[in-house]
Amino acid sequence: MSKPFRSAATILALTAGLVGAATVLYVWNLPPFRNSVQMTNDAYVRGQVTLLSPQLAGYLVDVPVRDYQRVRRGDLIARIDDRIFVQKLEQAKAALEAAEAELSNSEQSQKSAEAKILSAKASVESAEAASEAARAAAARSENLLKSNIASQSEAEKNRAAFGQARAAVHQAEAAELVAEQDLNIVVVGRRSLQANVESARAAVKLAQIDLSNTRITAPQDGTLGEVTGRVGQNVSVGTQIGSIVQDEVWIVANFKETQFSGLRAGYEVMFTVDALENKPFKGRIERFAPATGSEFSVIKADNATGNFTKVAQRIPVRIFIDRNQDEVERLVPGMSVVTRIDVAQSLDPEVTRK
């Protein structure tokens, strides 16, 4: 091969090598092609997906919704046979009425005990008055006996009457004490009856809650996923019968730690959606994850074992989506997006304050 041809082949090979190296440097955003735009395709639309399941066990008797149906908060998703729970509620209400009746009887017993105390006090006063009269009669008899005006038998009779009167006073005082103790027993028992009433009321509320839980309703506005509940199906607590996706969506973009230094909350974000023919949308950075994604993994790698190869970690970044855009309502959780952030932009003071 002649020297000119060898020189041309050498130049062509060098040119191809330089173009290839430049392409690699450009694709990987390395010097001298590094710019202020940070880009990642490790980004996805995220949203709140709530699994729907019953809090009670039973048979489904009604599933009025269908897959991918639009629902509003409180709409019926499924209903469990409620006959048992209706009867349990009636039973709890009957127990409450019985407890309230016992408490009412206790109130009447307390009034009766208080009346007995008043009667016992009156008996004490009457016995004391009779005792005082008997004491005076006995004293007169003693004086008359000393003057030989009254007989010994009459004096002894008056002394005996005085003793009986004193005994009657003690008996009346004892009856008053008994009446007071009866009142204390009623009062203490009433506290127990009041506790029984509160317990019965709580049982009624629990029965009402169980009855209301036979209706499985939408917790928020949104769109249903696949409805797996079927009429006649015997479900238990926690059985998944469907899911609901709420309206609010956002983006989580996983940037490499080498791209993280220039990112700031409030920066405008441009992103394209694969499923919508790379249609561009706008958003802004809301906040950053408190740790890299590897820290949240179930099985964490231990870098202290074996040979070590440094791998750039990724930090999740939450991106708010501007809702005032065409077709933004078509964004659903799980869609793949490509995000681009110009780290040379200046922050809007209004956005910074927010």
Distance CA 253, CA 41 (A): 8
- Residue 15 inside a domain? The answer is no
pLDDT at residue 192, rounded to an integer: 79
Structure confidence at residue 353 as a pLDDT band (50, 70, 90): very low
Q: What is the pLDDT confidence band of residue 346, given thresholds at 50, 70 and 90? A: confident
The reply to whether 14 falls in a domain is: no
Provide the pLDDT for residue 82: 94
User: What's the structural domain count of the chain?
Assistant: 3
**Sorting pLDDT into bands at 50, 70 and 90, what band is 235?**
very high
| Single-letter code of the amino acid located at 184 | N
Q: Does residue 191 share a domain with residue 158?
A: yes
Task: Indicate whether 187 pLDDT > 80.
Answer: no
Sign of CA dihedral 101, 107, 109, 112: negative
198 and 275 together in one domain: no
Residues 6+ apart with CB under 8 A from 137: 158, 161, 162
- In-domain check, residue 229: yes
Q: How many residues does the chain have?
A: 354
* 255 and 163 within one domain: no
Q: Which residues, 6 or more positions from 172, have their beta carbon under 8 angstroms from its beta carbon?
A: 120, 123, 124, 126, 127, 128
Same domain for 38 and 72, yes or no, is no
pLDDT for res 160: 65
Report pLDDT digits (tens) over 111-135.
666 666 676 667 666 666 766 666 6
What CATH number did the domain enclosing 151 receive? 1.10.287
Are both 37 and 124 inside the same structural domain?
Answer: no
Beta bridge partners of 235: 58
Q: Quick check: 162 pLDDT over 70?
A: no
Q: What is the pLDDT of residue 37?
A: 84
Whether residue 108 has pLDDT greater than 80: no
Question: What CATH number has the domain bearing residue 279?
Answer: 2.40.30.170
Phi, psi of 344 (to 5 degrees): -90, 0
Residue 146 covered by a domain: yes
* Residue 99 binned pLDDT confidence (cut-offs 50, 70, 90): confident
Strand partners, 222: 71, 246
At 305-331, the pLDDT tens digits run: 777 778 888 999 999 999 899 999 899
Say what the pLDDT of residue 350 is: 56
Looking at residue 309, its pLDDT comes to 76
pLDDT in tens, 255-279: 998 888 889 999 999 999 999 988 9
Contact present, 79 and 214 (Cβ < 8 Å): yes
- Integer Cα distance of 287 and 22 in angstroms: 35
* pLDDT for residue 262: 85
The confidence score (pLDDT) of residue 139 equals 61
What's the rounded mean pLDDT across residues 145-156? 58
Distance, CA of 247 to CA of 318 (rounded, Å): 17
Which CATH number fits the domain that encloses residue 76?
A: 2.40.50.100
Q: Quick check: is 336 in a domain? A: yes
Q: Is residue 13 part of a domain?
A: no
Domain residues for the domain of 235 are: 54-80+219-240
